[in-house]
C-alpha cells in the first residue's frame, strides 16, 4: 500500500470518528446520574460507545476510501479480479472482536457485582406493586408506608419488590436500574443516591388498563430531612384525628393513582370519582358508610356502572388494620358529604 493511501484512510477515519463522537457527546442522551450504581452503569455505557465509535471510524474509512479509489467507469460490466482467502486478515478480524467482546463481558460483570454488593448499614425498603399503584414500606424506619419513595442521600438502600397481581417493572431513569416485579418472587436492586432531587418512578411493564398512569416519585433528601420525614409520617398515620390519619392512609396507599378526590388533590381516572361517593351509594341503594367500607374490602361486590370488574385490588381489606380502615372510611365519608 502506498503511503498516500494510508494517509487518506487515516484522515477519513479521524473525520468519521470525530463526527460520531460529536453526536455522542453534544446531545444529552441520558438523564442526570443520581446514584453510585448509575455512575458504574454509565461507565459501562461509555466504554461500549467508545468501542463503537472506533469501529465506525475504521469501517467508514474503508468504505469511503474504496468507493472513491476503486470506482469503475459506468459502462464497465466486467467481473473484478478473483480474490482468495488471506489468513493474516482473517485472524485479525476474528481476534479483535474477540478481545473487545471479552472486555465488555468482564467490565459488565464487575459493574453488576459491585452494584449488587450490599453495604453494612443498608436500609431495606419493601416495594409493593399492584394495578396501578406503588406502595413503599420502611421496615427499618418504624414500618411506615408511603406512596412516594423517600430516600436519604448517601445511604445504600435495598429495594425488595413484590407484586400483588401481575408483572410490573420498577424503573427510575436517573438510577439507571430496571427490575421486573413478578408475582410469587421477591426481586431486589440496590440504590445509593448521590444527588438531592425528585425523580420519576415508572412502571416499565405493560400491566393493564392503568399502566401508563402507574407512576410515583423518588425524592432524595439529606439524611436529617429524611429522619424528620420519618417522624412526621409515622405520627400522621397513627393520628387520633381520623381526618389526618385517613388523609395520610389515602395518600400512602396510593388511592389517588386511580381515583379522583379533590380533598386529597387526587385526579386519577381509572376508578370511580370519589367526590361523587354520596350519589354512587344512593345509586347502589346502600348507606354511605357501609358502601365505602365494602367497596374497599370487597371491591367486586358492587361495581359502579361504566367501570370494569377486577381492576380495584381486593387486597386492601387484609393490608389495612381495623383502625386504619375505620380512619379511611370516616375520612372518605366526611370528604364526600361536603359535596
CA distance 150 to 201: 11
**Per-residue contact string for residues 50-89; x = within reach of ligand CUA by CB under 6 A:** ----------------------------------------
Does residue 211 bind ligand CUA (CB under 6 A)? Answer: yes
Does residue 149 bind ligand CUA (CB under 6 A)? Answer: no
CB 181 within 8 A of CB 161: yes
Q: Kindly write down the DSSP assignment for every residue of 160-214, as one continuous string.
A: EEEESSS-EEEE-GGG--EEEE-TT--EEEEE-B-S-EEEEEEE-S--STTGGG-
CA distance 319 to 316: 5
Minimum distance, C-beta of residue 19 to ligand CUA, in the bound complex (Å): 39
Among 29-37, 142-150, 199-207, 259-267, the segment contacting ligand CUA (CB under 6 A) = 199-207
Q: Site for ligand CUA (CB under 6 A): which residue of 36, 164, 168, 176?
A: 168
CB nearer ligand CUA, residue 37 or residue 205: 205
Among 137-145, 200-208, 220-228, 249-257, the segment contacting ligand CUA (CB under 6 A) = 200-208
Distance of CA 67 to the CA centre of its chain: 46
Does residue 141 bind ligand CUA (CB under 6 A)? Answer: no
Q: Cell 365494602 appears where?
A: 294
Does residue 214 bind ligand CUA (CB under 6 A)? Answer: yes
CB nearer ligand CUA, residue 40 or residue 164: 164
Does residue 288 bind ligand CUA (CB under 6 A)? Answer: no
Minimum distance, C-beta of residue 287 to ligand CUA, in the bound complex (Å): 34
Q: Site for ligand CUA (CB under 6 A): which residue of 147, 203, 248, 329?
A: 203
CB 95 within 8 A of CB 56: no
Does residue 207 bind ligand CUA (CB under 6 A)? Answer: yes
Q: What is the dihedral of CA 190, 196, 197, 200, to 10 degrees?
A: 0
Does residue 162 bind ligand CUA (CB under 6 A)? Answer: no
CA distance 172 to 192: 13
CB nearer ligand CUA, residue 17 or residue 256: 256
CB 259 within 8 A of CB 295: no
Q: Kindly write down the DSSP assignment for every residue of 55-83, as one continuous string.
A: HHHHHHHHHHHHHHHT---TT--PPPPP-
What is the size of the binding site for ligand CUA (CB under 6 A)? 9
CB nearer ligand CUA, residue 223 or residue 308: 308
Residue 299 neighbours by CB distance under 10 Å? 19
Does residue 164 bind ligand CUA (CB under 6 A)? Answer: no
CB nearer ligand CUA, residue 130 or residue 333: 130
Distance of CA 268 to the CA centre of its chain: 20
- Contact footprint for ligand CUA (CB under 6 A): 129, 132, 168, 203, 205-207, 211, 214
Amino acid at each position: 500500500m502506498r503511503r498516500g493511501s494510508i494517509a487518506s484512510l487515516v484522515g477519513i477515519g479521524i473525520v468519521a470518528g470525530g463526527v460520531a463522537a460529536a453526536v455522542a457527546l453534544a446531545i444529552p442522551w441520558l438523564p442526570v446520574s443520581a446514584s453510585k450504581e448509575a455512575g458504574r452503569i454509565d461507565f459501562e455505557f461509555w466504554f461500549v460507545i467508545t468501542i463503537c465509535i472506533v469501529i465506525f471510524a475504521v469501517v467508514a474509512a474503508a468504505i469511503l476510501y474504496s468507493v472513491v479509489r476503486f470506482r469503475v467507469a459506468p459502462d464497465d460490466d466486467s467481473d473484478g479480479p478473483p480474490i482468495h482467502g488471506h489468513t493474516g486478515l482473517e485472524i485479525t478480524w476474528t481476534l479483535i472482536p474477540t478481545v473487545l467482546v471479552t472486555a465488555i463481558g468482564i467490565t459488565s460483570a464487575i459493574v453488576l457485582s459491585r452494584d449488587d454488593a450490599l453495604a453494612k448499614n443498608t436500609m431495606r425498603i419493601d416495594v409493593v406493586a399492584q394495578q396501578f399503584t406503588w406502595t413503599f414500606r420502611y421496615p427499618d424506619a418504624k414500618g411506615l408506608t408511603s406512596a412516594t419513595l423517600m430516600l436519604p442521600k448517601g445511604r445504600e438502600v435495598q429495594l425488595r419488590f413484590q407484586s400483588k397481581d401481575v408483572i410490573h417493572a420498577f424503573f427510575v431513569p436517573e438510577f439507571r436500574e430496571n427490575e421486573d416485579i413478578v408475582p410469587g418472587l421477591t426481586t431486589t436492586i440496590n440504590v445509593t443516591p448521590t444527588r438531592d432531587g425528585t425523580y420519576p418512578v415508572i412502571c416499565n411493564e405493560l400491566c393493564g388498563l392503568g399502566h401508563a398512569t402507574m407512576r410515583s416519585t423518588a425524592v432524595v433528601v439529606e439524611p436529617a430531612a429524611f429522619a424528620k420525614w420519618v417522624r412526621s409520617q409515622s405520627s400522621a398515620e397513627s393520628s387520633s384525628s381520623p381526618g389526618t390519619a385517613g388523609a395520610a392512609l389515602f395518600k400512602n396507599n396510593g388511592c389517588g393513582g386511580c381515583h379522583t378526590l379533590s380533598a386529597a388533590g387526587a385526579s386519577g381516572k381509572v376508578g370511580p370519582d370519589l367526590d361523587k361517593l354520596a350519589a354512587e351509594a344512593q345509586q347502589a341503594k346502600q348507606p354511605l358508610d357501609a358502601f365505602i367500607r365494602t367497596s374497599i374490602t370487597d371491591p367486586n361486590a358492587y361495581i359502579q356502572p361504566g367501570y370494569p370488574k377486577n381492576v380495584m385490588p381486593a387486597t386492601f381489606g387484609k393490608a389495612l388494620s381495623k383502625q386504619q380502615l375505620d380512619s379511611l372510611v370516616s375520612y372518605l365519608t366526611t370528604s364526600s358529604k361536603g359535596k
